[in-house]
Chains A and B, each alone.
Chain A
Amino acid sequence: MSNMNIKGSDFTFSWIFAIMAGAAILVLAIYITSQLISSGNVQRDTFVAGELANILSPIETNLEDNRYSVIEFSTETRVYNECSDSGAFGVQRLSTASKSSRSEWSDQSIRKSVYNKYVFSRAVEETKNKNLHVMVNPLVLPFKIGDAVIIYSGGYCFVNPPSDIENLISDLSADGKNDIGLNITSNLNSCPLNFTKVCFNKLGCDVNVETTSKVVTKSGKSSYYEGDALMLASILSDFEIYECQLKRLMKRAGELGVLYKRKADFIEGSGCSNNLGVDLQSFVISTNINSSRDFARSVVPIADDLERRNDELASCKVF
């Protein structure tokens, strides 16, 4: 009887030991594997964020007007757009997260920082059918400042837009042959249900645009614009992103204003009388804005005046 007990305890102990050790190894292996898979996802998403920042460069404009492109992702992807206006030029940070086959979103990737791009979108833009629309519009005020890169997904229904916006959408969509996510209609009721409705000079939509005062209102917040590029950027992006990117663009405009002022003074010494130095200095000062309202009030009138003064110069235009 006692012999059997001893044998039994010997058998039980080694089995308990083996099971505990085996379980510990298994748990450790599963933990390490899940950590590796997770870091692999973050690594892939970081790579996608870097790629996204890179592929925005080829679709930037030179002297041409506007460009449209579709970015195709291999999986459903969220693009996180963060903007900071601190520093000389502010910074654009892009990161992504992807959807797994089990419909779970991976962790947000490491952010890719870019100083010379201005991405207007919602704070988190999610692909639709693995696609994102990209529209690039140059911002000229009065010289080229940069490209407003507008990233959007889903559908927008524009109700009675101005003719220049209608022509722009018609051009980019090849007269409606390509789906660029922007529909035009004259009747609000004919907009598809899941589309974001955008009214022009009329209330009652998700986004309301007042073209006379150049104000876009959505979610109770108003932002000011000048030109088609900023109008579309304001419609298709979050209020905070729009305001931040506009401040960044104005910082760049200020730096470019300094360059053009130095150039104006320099070529004036070489016999090109332009007298633009003072105007350019005023422009540089005006670009220090706190909001899009400041932009509309102070930058736009000075830029218009500067453009007119420069156009009057015959053979030695500064810009």
Chain B
Amino acid sequence: MNLPRVRYSSSKGQFKIQQMVFIIVAIIILFGIVAVFFVSIKFGSLESDVEDLRKEAVFTQVRKMAGTPEFIWIASDDCSSCVDFDKVLMLKDRESYKGFWTDISLLKVSRVYPLYAAEECTTQNYPECNSVTLVNKGEYEAYESFVSLCRFDSSLKQKKCEIGKIIMGFEGVE
């Protein structure tokens, strides 16, 4: 007489366990979906934060680059935004400076006026050339800052300054 009731109770218990397992699985799936949603939002904001940081870094560096020791013209103390073009040329291809300017994909100093036929400067064609490229690594967004490019002029036997610009680029976050 007791045996059928035991069987009935056991199958009812199994049903309840199954019910509980389904609920637990459903809860875990729900948690999983919420977690995936949360992580995707989190990483999305992280990407934009990193991009903002890089942009801000480049903006400040573009503004201040003319005043850094490697660029600044200090042979006369009356020009705070003058770039020493002779020194920048000497800086080109210096192995030790590779990696010195972090987060920068392009660093170039160009003459705006007058322009010459030769684009890239070497010690052979200098000063009758337009640009000295110090860093150039693939794709970038470029920003410019106008400066005076000063150098020692062999015909004048003194300094000569021309209009130029510093171009800096940074790699976007993919």
Partner-B contacts on A (CB < 8 A): 2-3, 6-7, 10, 13-14, 17-18, 21, 25, 29, 32, 36, 40, 43, 47, 50-51, 53-55, 57-58, 60-64, 88-89, 113-116, 143-146, 252, 255-256, 258-260, 262-263, 266-267, 270-272, 315-319
Q: Complex: how many Å from CA A62 to CA B63?
A: 11
Q: Report whether A272 and B157 are in contact in the complex, using a CB–CB cutoff of 8 Å.
A: yes
Contacts known (A25-B28, A115-B100); A259 close to B17, Cβ less than 8 A: no
- Closest chain A CB from B158 CB (angstroms): 5
B69, A54: Cβ atoms closer than 8 Å: no
A58-B76 Cα distance, complex, nearest whole Å = 23
Q: Is B38 on the interface with A (CB-CB < 8 A)?
A: yes
Nearest 8 pairs of A and B residues by beta carbon: A62-B67, A270-B154, A57-B60, A262-B90, A88-B96, A317-B75, A62-B80, A267-B152
* Contact across chains for B13 and A144 when beta carbons are under 8 A apart: no
Contacts beyond the supplied A267-B86, A271-B154: 11 A-B pairs with Cβ under 8 Å = A3-B2, A14-B16, A25-B27, A25-B31, A57-B63, A62-B66, A62-B80, A63-B74, A63-B77, A89-B96, A317-B76
A91 to B172: give the CA distance in the assembly, Å: 24
Q: Is the CB of B102 within 8 A of A3?
A: no
**Contact bitstring B34-60, A, C-beta under 8 A = 1, else 0:** 010010001000100100010011001
Judge whether A21 and B24 touch: CB under 8 Å.
yes
Q: How far is the CA of A17 from the CA of B21 in the complex (A)?
A: 10
For A316, the chain B residues whose CB sits under 8 A away are: 75, 152, 157-158
Residues of B in contact with A (beta carbons under 8 Å apart): 2, 5-6, 9, 12-13, 16-17, 20, 24, 27-28, 31, 35, 38, 42, 46, 49, 53, 56-57, 60-61, 63-64, 66-70, 72, 74-77, 79-81, 84, 86-87, 89-91, 94, 96-97, 99-102, 123, 152, 154, 157-158
B90 partner residues in chain A, CB cutoff 8 A: 259, 262-263, 266
Contact A256 B102 (CB under 8 A): no
The residues of B that contact A47 with a CB separation of less than 8 Å are 49, 53
A39 to chain B: closest residue by CB: B42
| Choice from B2, B24, B38 contacting A25 with Cβ under 8 Å | B24
A6-B6, A270-B152 are contacts. A50–B17 as well, Cβ < 8 Å?
Answer: no
Q: Are B61 and A57 in contact (CB under 8 A)?
A: yes
What chain B residues lie within 8 Å of A62 (beta carbons)?
Answer: 64, 66-67, 72, 80-81
Contacts A/B (CB < 8 Å), 5 sampled: A3-B5, A25-B28, A57-B61, A63-B77, A317-B76
Question: Cβ of A144: which chain B residues have Cβ within 8 Å of it?
Answer: 69, 72, 74
Given A2-B2, A54-B56, A63-B67, A115 contacting B102 (CB threshold 8 A):
yes
